[in-house]
């Protein structure tokens, strides 16, 4: 039986309490004989309504987690994606003057209520800032939805010195992304190689000018429409066995006009490539972007023993 309710509960008691919260049928006694049905992780994915959440509380299973001292603020956006949930955490620490966006994929694990949580991208501002705990390793955990509340328990959390962490979020009304939030998500999803999520950042009739393709009259190619952009990015991501993008900084010019400076590397390049995107953003969507190169791509020279031709470096593998 789970014994809870004491101040300063022990680690074992907290785990037991968490088990009670996440699996009501495992907690019996205290005059309650009815058992609540257990909802599997796959049921949660199928039934979950995407939306936006705000952080309300957190704790470690070995004691309190004082995030107020850090000026901690966090919002969470959740989307359903191919049998999994895509979790985007926007975290700000007022005491450190920093912000970071982390994108996780949450997939049902082999056990009914267990989830596999995979942090796939992390973008910080200022660039490279250690903005609180850095969560990069894939871990197991649990998600529980009750009404407007979403509870996420992660094992071996750096927020809790390697102990388990419990974060609770409450659903709030959706709002358009700020221009900086759009830019940060663009970098994060590019780093993940997710053409679908990048395309959703664009307005349906948005356009992009890129320097990797030339028209018949020698001008840089323009791609118009969300679906055309989706195809362009998907083609680029398929052209390299791996790639990575790092945000170097964001410059705000006129309202809705931002410049994102980045560094890019993939398996086909000999050294990192630097460039920038000029963005025109309104109401949380990209209406236009232009890709400009600051340095020229230096392609890796591949020496093959066979006579088979070496495939050219795909131009679309770069933003």
The whole-number pLDDT of residue 306 equals: 57
* CA-based nearest residue to 164, from 172, 153, 152, 174: 153
Q: In this structure, are strands 84-93 and 273-282 parallel, antiparallel, or unpaired?
A: unpaired
Give the span between the Cα atoms of 9 and 262, in whole angstroms.
46
Whether residues 184 and 285 fall in one domain = yes
The whole-number pLDDT of residue 39 equals: 65
Structure tokens at 186: 């663009």
Specify the DSSP element, H or E, that contains 174: none
Residue 72's region, left for phi above 0, alpha for psi from -120 to 50, else beta, is beta
Last residue of a domain, one of 172, 187, 209: 172
Residue 61's region, left for phi above 0, alpha for psi from -120 to 50, else beta, is alpha
Q: Return the ∠ at Cα 178 (arms to 247 and 128), rounded to 5°.
A: 25
Last residue of a domain, one of 172, 199, 220: 172
Which residues, 6+ apart, have CB-to-CB distance to 203 below 8 Å? 226, 282, 285, 286, 287
* CA-based nearest residue to 146, from 170, 172, 112: 170
The whole-number pLDDT of residue 82 equals: 83
Max CA separation in the chain (angstroms): 80
What CATH number is given to the structural domain containing 307? 3.10.450.50
The whole-number pLDDT of residue 302 equals: 74
Look at the block and give the residue holding tokens 């410049």: 259
Give the span between the Cα atoms of 252 and 173, in whole angstroms.
27
Whether residues 143 and 244 fall in one domain = no
What CATH number is given to the structural domain containing 102? 2.40.128.20
pTM of structure: 0.83
Last residue of a domain, one of 141, 172, 203: 172
Cα separations (Å) of 102 from 60, 72, 187, 283? Answer: 20, 15, 11, 22
Half-sphere CA count of 232, side-chain side, radius 13 A: 22
Whether residues 106 and 86 fall in one domain = yes
3-state secondary structure of 213: strand
Q: For residue 224, what are the domain limits?
A: 179-317
The whole-number pLDDT of residue 307 equals: 52
* Residue 280 domain-assigned (yes or no): yes
pLDDT along the chain (319 residues), means of 10: 40 48 41 51 80 97 92 96 93 95 94 90 92 92 94 96 96 96 98 97 98 91 97 94 96 95 96 98 98 95 61 48
């Amino acid at each position: 039986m789970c014994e809870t309710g004491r101040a300063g509960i022990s680690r074992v008691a907290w785990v037991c309490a968490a088990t009670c919260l996440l699996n009501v049928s495992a907690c019996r006694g205290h005059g309650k004989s009815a058992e609540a049905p257990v909802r599997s992780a796959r049921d949660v994915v199928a039934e979950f309504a995407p939306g936006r959440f705000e952080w309300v509380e957190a704790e470690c299973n070995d004691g309190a987690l004082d995030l107020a001292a850090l000026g901690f603020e966090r919002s969470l956006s959740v989307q359903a994606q191919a049998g999994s949930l895509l979790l985007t955490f926007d975290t700000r620490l007022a005491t450190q003057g920093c912000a970071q966006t982390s994108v996780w994929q949450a997939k049902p694990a082999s056990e009914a209520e267990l989830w596999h949580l995979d942090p796939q991208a992390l973008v910080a501002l200022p660039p490279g800032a250690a903005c609180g705990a850095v969560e990069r390793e894939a871990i197991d955990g649990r998600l529980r939805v009750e009404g407007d509340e979403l509870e996420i328990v992660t094992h071996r959390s750096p927020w809790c010195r390697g102990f388990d962490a419990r974060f609770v979020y409450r659903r709030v009304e959706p709002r358009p992304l700020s221009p900086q939030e759009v830019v940060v998500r663009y970098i994060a999803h590019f780093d993940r190689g997710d053409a679908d999520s990048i395309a959703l950042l664009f307005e349906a009739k948005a356009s992009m000018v890129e320097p990797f393709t030339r028209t018949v009259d020698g001008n840089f190619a323009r791609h118009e429409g969300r679906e055309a952009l989706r195809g362009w990015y998907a083609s680029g991501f398929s052209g390299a066995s791996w790639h990575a993008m790092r945000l170097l900084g964001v410059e705000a010019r006129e309202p809705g006009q931002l410049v994102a400076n980045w560094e890019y590397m993939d398996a086909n390049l000999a050294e990192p490539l630097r460039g920038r995107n000029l963005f025109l953003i309104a109401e949380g969507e990209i209406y236009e972007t232009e890709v400009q190169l600051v340095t020229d791509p230096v392609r890796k020279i591949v020496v093959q023993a066979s006579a088979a031709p070496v495939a050219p470096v795909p131009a679309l593998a770069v933003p």
